[in-house]
Structure 1
């Protein structure tokens, strides 16, 4: 009788996700993931072709988390401001994870930048003043706003500034207003 699998692909993926979330990609090694699971590296390589294969599956899990959890939060009535605040609060609340995803180049900067861009496009479609913009106009508006958002998030994630919620809301509202002119 064959032995029943006790370590499933989903367990490995969940563990890899938790490792990156708490340790960053420095901990993303087969040996470290196996150690965290109290097993050898064999189950990892039975379920995934290689670590890049695991990393690609991890990206999908991260994409789902950001899309369904982080960018769905509500901080204000303005969907554009919400998207900005969600990204910044993610950097503040989960700095290790944020740095691993957005400040280090482990999953591809274009691929990672596309996640907040898509969230912002959804927000643009919810706002009357930005709903009718062309793709080029949306991209330009995103870039104008995102410089402030990304910079603020990066500074927070590195603990270089402290978050003053009122000042943050005022700055972002002003940035969005100026960029939308």
Structure 2
């Protein structure tokens, strides 16, 4: 009797195990896509900063091992580089939604200031991290559609020659970048209106100066 009962128990265990194994083999495995991993890395950056993006932190947030992460990104550097590119594309699309507005430049300036104020970790990634590299600032900036569009609107709005446009645009950008950096890192008490007005007045002064130089034949 004991052996019969034991045999029945073993039989049922083997029978149940067979179906468990079949379900495991036949059930489709959930594939974690590259886009999903980048969304997770982007979210980690927003909450904790870019330095918190690692294969382990992304895998933990995705609820998987690190193997799917490294199946999409060969190295940690590749993951971090792709995260930076993902963030740039995400924000460029956001900015370009306003590209046809007459106040496109002002909208973009306020967007940068708002990012610095409300999303300092993402501002740091875009503007202060090692990912933002290049020997020539103008060439790096013009590599992004939103900046190229702004430069075109800027030149047409103020009727500037190409070199004057480049000079004033860069100086205006550096002023905006400096104010935004102070907001992001030191919590300066500039309102968006105050900062935007400061950049606007400075740019208009530079444009007026360019006009005077042109009228006087290039003399300062």
- 1:93 shift after superposition: 1.9
Q: 1:12 touches 1:44 (CA, 8 Å); kept in 2? A: yes
Which whole-Å CA distance do the structure 2 matches of 1:156 and 1:129 have between them? 28
The number of equivalent residue pairs is 178
Which residue number corresponds to residue 160 of structure 1? 187
- 1:130 shift after superposition: 4.1
Q: TM-score, normalised by structure 1?
A: 0.81
Q: 2:141 touches 2:147 (CA, 8 Å); kept in 1? A: no
Give the 3 Å change call, closer, same or farther, for CA 177–120 of structure 1 in structure 2: farther
Which residue number corresponds to residue 25 of structure 1? 50
Which residue number corresponds to residue 91 of structure 2? 66
Which residue number corresponds to residue 3 of structure 2? none
**Corresponding residue to 2:157 among 119, 124, 129:** 129
Which whole-Å CA distance do the structure 2 matches of 1:116 and 1:81 have between them? 20
Q: 1:124 touches 1:131 (CA, 8 Å); kept in 2? A: no
Where in structure 2 are the equivalents of 1:1-181 lying within 5 Å? 4-70=29-95, 72-73=97-98, 77-105=102-130, 107-110=131-134, 114=141, 118-127=145-154, 128-130=156-158, 133-134=161-162, 136-181=163-208
Which whole-Å CA distance do the structure 2 matches of 1:166 and 1:129 have between them? 21
Give the 3 Å change call, closer, same or farther, for CA 20–91 of structure 1 in structure 2: same
Q: What 5-or-longer segments of structure 1 have no aligned partner? A: none
Give the 3 Å change call, closer, same or farther, for CA 92–77 of structure 1 in structure 2: farther
Which whole-Å CA distance do the structure 2 matches of 1:59 and 1:133 have between them? 33
Which whole-Å CA distance do the structure 2 matches of 1:8 and 1:20 have between them? 19
Higher RCO (CA-CA < 8 Å; seq separation 6+): 1
Deviations 1:37-84 (A, max 9, x none): 22211110112211222223223321211211145458x843332222
Q: Which protein is bigger by CA-based radius of gyration? A: 2
Q: 1:34 touches 1:40 (CA, 8 Å); kept in 2? A: yes
After alignment, is 81-90 or 36-45 more displaced?
81-90
Which secondary structure state, in structure 2, belongs to the residue aligned with residue 65 of structure 1?
Answer: helix
RMSD value, Cα: 2.9
